[in-house]
Structure 1
Amino acid sequence: MTDWIELDPAYSTTRLVRKVAPEVVESELKAAHKPEDQFETIIFQPEGEGCRAVGGLRTKGYFKKSSEEKPLITVITVVFNGEQYLEETILSVIKQAYDNVEYIIIDGGSSDGTLDIIRKYEHAIDYWLSESDDGIYYAMNKGIRLALGDIIGLVNADDVIYLHTVENIAEALLAEHNAGFTMAPVELAYLDGKVFGIVKPLANYEIYERMWNEMPSPHQGVYVRINIYKNLGLFNEKYALSADYDYLLRLLLAHIKYACMDQPVGFFRSGGLSGGLQTWLETRELLSAYGRPRLEIEYGFISSIAKMIAARTLPDFLFKKLKKFNKKSKRNLY
């Protein structure tokens, strides 16, 4: 690590950088590319008609690289008009205890104060861009193509990750030989950030039985090695709301080994885009594409709608009691 320099010890994204020409990085990426890879990694997004702005450390000639003992972990945030919580999200990433963190922000052409917040912290952001796009997973795929890290995590623009999360992710994947991704709990929070519950991954012994009925892990707890993305491909943009569920199914059906973690990686605010009736309508389509029996799909759909209605209409204590009676479809919530 002789070519590493420290720009600013205050940030996880500026403790280990190197000042090199873009051509050097491109040459390294070309040498590492395999013919069977589903996509190529790029260091700058090609300019399109909708491109409004770009910035970050890369545009100033600063890049990141993995080492055997300290793999580079890329965190990607996708945002659109997210000024309310974005600063909290950014600070939770750039203030990580881990030293080798790359941070990429993909903005969908925000018209509020989002770009002002991004520019405020661009000295600690590796690369950011603002341009119109075709949805969340289109933007996530864009970010993954730009990632130089060996491990990639996705943090929404209203989520927070905890101080040692990236460090714990690195340790979990290094300790679990040949593990390709993580699954970890994520806490639930009200809009004011007060935590009120937790979502846990399915247990190892039941995951292949229950993965068709519920999300195997909250996607905020899933960090995936870049070689897995290169082998399996990117998110299926056909699914606007449930592409994360589809990707977890693809990982599990490919029998890729994973590291299951006990500690929560952060919290997400309840009430995001992915939820409710529209998500379940799309999930029915997804499960049909996997050839699941119609009766099973409809049972899961009706059960989930019933739980959603109960959660929104019943007193909290009563809803919790009712959930205890439904062992088969319990979601490990709260």
Structure 2
Amino acid sequence: MSHPPRISIIIATYNASVLLPDLLDSISKQDYPHCEVVVVDGGSKDDTLQVVHRYGDLVTSWISEPDRGIFDAWNKGLRLAKGDWVMFLGSDDCLLPDALNQYVSFIDSLDHEVDFISSRVYYTDKNLVPYRVLGWAWEWPRFQREMTVAHPGSLHSRRLFEKYGVFSTAYRIVGDYEFLLRGRNELRTAFMDKVTVRFREGGSSDSYAAIRECFHASVSTGKSPVVRSLLYTFSVYVKFSIRKFLRKFNLNLYLRRQET
């Protein structure tokens, strides 16, 4: 690529006026000029749009209208985005300082063409205090049965969407996982072993519904053997149930800290 890569950051929002400023502040502090920010709002009833307007030229484009969930919003953002690489962030996430420069330096260091680049994220409490690091290199067939990469803050080449289409709105929670499954073992990936994002706990991905959707995506798109996926999903259900029970006694944070 002869010119510096342009990065599009797509943010889906809905009633996000309390958390969105932290994310936009973290983007404003990035020392990389070739970046655009696209906000896709689902018709918020709070002051989300006032927050967007307050950040002026930082937000390159925005729309606000009802949508059919986060993946419908991301698809709308893709139609507005003009970057060579696309990043998706939640309104409750935050970019770490110099994250974009680190990504660009990593891209420049590659000796082969890739379509998806992931890194690591800090999994944090509600106050953005980290207690675990998540995100591993993409590896098939492990990815066939579970989402091993950290999707927040990862980079998608525009070629990826030209080849595999956009996100499926049939999924409410794991449409990102299903999308990346489409390339199967031919997906061209790279892993930057650095933390780039703070990712708050407690989202929809931390639920039984997400586990069920992962199973469906693994079998239908990833073509994972049904019996193997059922056994794996059962083990995930058991582990999640134990964590959920321990949360009632405020033990979850302690146990997860032991995993880091």
TM-score (norm 2): 0.91
2:64 is equivalent to residue 130 of structure 1: yes
Task: Supply the distance in 2 between the matched residues of 1:71 and 1:317 (Cα, whole angstroms).
Answer: 39
Q: CA deviation at 1:189?
A: 0.8
- The answer for the alignment partner of 1:286 in structure 2 is 217
- The answer for the alignment partner of 2:195 in structure 1 is 264
2:122 is equivalent to residue 191 of structure 1: no
Q: CA deviation at 1:256?
A: 3.1
- Asked if 2 retains the 8 angstrom alpha-carbon contact of 1:70 and 1:100, the reply is yes
- Asked if 1 retains the 8 angstrom alpha-carbon contact of 2:146 and 2:218, the reply is no
Bigger mean CA offset, 77-86 vs 219-228 = 219-228
- The answer for the alignment partner of 1:84 in structure 2 is 18
- The answer for the alignment partner of 2:159 in structure 1 is 227
Q: CA deviation at 1:259?
A: 1.9
Q: CA deviation at 1:305?
A: 1.2
Q: CA deviation at 1:157?
A: 0.4
SS at match of 1:285: helix
RMSD: 2.0
Task: Supply the distance in 2 between the matched residues of 1:318 and 1:228 (Cα, whole angstroms).
Answer: 39
Q: CA deviation at 1:254?
A: 5.7
Identical pairs, percent: 25
1:97 paired residue among 20, 23, 31: 31
Task: Supply the distance in 1 between the matched residues of 2:96 and 2:256 (Cα, whole angstroms).
Answer: 27
Task: Supply the distance in 1 between the matched residues of 2:13 and 2:147 (Cα, whole angstroms).
Answer: 23
Task: Supply the distance in 1 between the matched residues of 2:109 and 2:255 (Cα, whole angstroms).
Answer: 39
- The answer for the alignment partner of 1:180 in structure 2 is 115
- Bigger Cα Rg: 1
Aligned residues: 254
- The answer for the alignment partner of 1:118 in structure 2 is 52
Residue by residue over 1:196-217, the C-alpha shift from the partner in whole angstroms, topping out at 9 and shown as x without a partner, is 1110214x6xx21311232120
Task: Supply the distance in 2 between the matched residues of 1:221 and 1:124 (Cα, whole angstroms).
Answer: 18
- The answer for the alignment partner of 1:28 in structure 2 is none
Q: CA deviation at 1:228?
A: 1.8
- Asked if 2 retains the 8 angstrom alpha-carbon contact of 1:181 and 1:225, the reply is yes
SS at match of 1:102: strand
Change (3 A) 1:259 1:285: closer
- The answer for the alignment partner of 1:327 in structure 2 is none
- The answer for the alignment partner of 1:237 in structure 2 is 169
- Asked if 2 retains the 8 angstrom alpha-carbon contact of 1:160 and 1:267, the reply is yes
Residue by residue over 1:219-240, the C-alpha shift from the partner in whole angstroms, topping out at 9 and shown as x without a partner, is 1142011122112111111111
- Asked if 1 retains the 8 angstrom alpha-carbon contact of 2:131 and 2:253, the reply is no
SS at match of 2:63: strand
2:235 is equivalent to residue 300 of structure 1: no
Task: Supply the distance in 2 between the matched residues of 1:158 and 1:70 (Cα, whole angstroms).
Answer: 28
- Asked if 2 retains the 8 angstrom alpha-carbon contact of 1:185 and 1:218, the reply is yes
Q: CA deviation at 1:319?
A: 4.3
Q: Structure 1: where are the runs of 5+ without partners? A: 1-66, 324-332
RCO (CA 8 Å, sep 6+): is it higher in 1 or 2? 2
- Asked if 1 retains the 8 angstrom alpha-carbon contact of 2:15 and 2:48, the reply is yes
Task: Supply the distance in 1 between the matched residues of 2:39 and 2:18 (Cα, whole angstroms).
Answer: 16
- Asked if 1 retains the 8 angstrom alpha-carbon contact of 2:124 and 2:199, the reply is yes
Q: Which has the higher strand share?
A: 2
Matched AA of 2:11: T
- Asked if 1 retains the 8 angstrom alpha-carbon contact of 2:38 and 2:61, the reply is yes
TM-score (norm 1): 0.71
Shift >6 Å, 4+ stretches: none
SS at match of 1:208: coil
- Asked if 2 retains the 8 angstrom alpha-carbon contact of 1:179 and 1:259, the reply is yes
SS at match of 1:263: strand
Change (3 A) 1:106 1:238: same
- Asked if 2 retains the 8 angstrom alpha-carbon contact of 1:216 and 1:248, the reply is no
